[in-house]
Amino acid sequence: MTDTNQAKSPSRRRQRFPEISTRAWEHPADRSALVALRKLTGFDDVLKKLAGLVSERSIRLMFLATAVKTSERQFPELYNMVRDAAYVLDLEKVPDLYVTQDPTVNAMCIGMDTPIIVLTSGLVELLDEEELRAVVGHEVGHAMSGHAVYRTMLLILTNIATRIAWIPLGNLAIMALITALKEWFRKAELSCDRAGLLAGQDLQASMRGLMKLAGGHNLGEMNVDAFLEQAEEYEKAGDLRDGVLKLLQVLPQTHPFAVVRVAQLKKWSESDEYRSILAGAYPRRDGDANASVSDQWKAAADHYSTSVKESKDPLIGLLRDVAGGVGTVGGKLRDTFTGARSGAPAGGTDSAAPADDAPRG
């Protein structure tokens, strides 16, 4: 851990956040679940101890044997990055960081009692210094939020719940639970993108790193602004059929798509919440125990409500119409799936005939 006397402060000047609570960067949907799970006092401690007895020891030994543990003599820049991230986010116990030989571009935070961070060689070779700093901060965010602990808790509960699958409609209930879990996992990734931004405090680097995950190392052929425009194009998604396809594509995913992550991070960087954190007005850890579950669920509900209202996705637009009791929903569905123009009459009447100079398809 970097001492508070700043003898080993970050390599470039960045704002530090003493006693910052993870609630500061957690996405509302992620935060509501975590606050509720943290109220299950004792369960997480037991789970950590059980994991530490066998599985974490095994994992740690495996990486000690097969990967490179960063230090002042091995990958010193990465070693300093994880210490810097811990310094900026005020994490007392700095996670060990390993680099493993793997061309796959990936990073992970493993373990519950004593988390470790693992970067693949493919990732290290792909990203520049500031992009890597954001990724390391992302993984430190996972460690601080305890995502591994609470994900494991819920997966255990899900496995228990699968025993009711034989009950009529039981399998549907399990599928709904798994779908909800994956939605939470996706929001947890958005949370840690925010943690990475707070650790690195370089928005362009954070967005470049995410863009490289989609398009590879040839940065000279890519452009962040164009990638954000691509995210806008993806959200609008053509017509209702595209909206349905997007939903089907995202449901199995544990991570949001790259364009979505970039757009969401850019939006958060422009929010009052982010500016307040940089100004030092953020929730502290001493308030975690008193965090209201109901308040967090309300914040999550408000977030989803706002997302639905602001979404340009045609499927979400249809759902808004349904909720508002709009009588043209059936017509929109018919037009979409029959290829008719929106608002055009179903039958050909003389009054609807095109004028002589109107173009004909």
- Position 27 scores a pLDDT of 92
Question: How confident is residue 19, by pLDDT bands cut at 50, 70 and 90?
Answer: very high
Report the C-alpha gap between 126 and 359 in whole angstroms: 51
pLDDT in tens, 87-128: 999 999 999 999 999 999 999 998 877 889 999 999 999 999
Please state whether beta strands 116-120 and 107-110 pair in parallel, antiparallel, or not at all (unpaired): antiparallel
- How many Cα atoms are found within 13 Å in the side-chain-facing hemisphere of 315? 11
26 an active-site residue? Answer: no
CA angle 263, 21, 137 (to 5 degrees): 50
Q: Is the pLDDT of residue 356 over 60?
A: no
Report the C-alpha gap between 219 and 206 in whole angstroms: 14
Of 42, 91, 38, 41, the closest CA to residue 296 belongs to 38
Joined tokens for residue 201: 């405090």
Q: Is the pLDDT of residue 79 over 70?
A: yes
Residue bearing the bigger pLDDT, 126 or 298: 126
**Which of the residue ranges 38-47, 204-213, 328-337 has the most confident prediction, judged by mean pLDDT?**
204-213
Report the C-alpha gap between 140 and 92 in whole angstroms: 11
Phi, psi torsion values for 42, nearest 5 degrees: 100, -35
- Position 294 scores a pLDDT of 82
Task: Please pick, among 26, 56, 131, 139, the residue that the annotation labels catalytic.
Answer: 139
Question: How confident is residue 281, by pLDDT bands cut at 50, 70 and 90?
Answer: very high
- Position 353 scores a pLDDT of 40
- Position 129 scores a pLDDT of 96
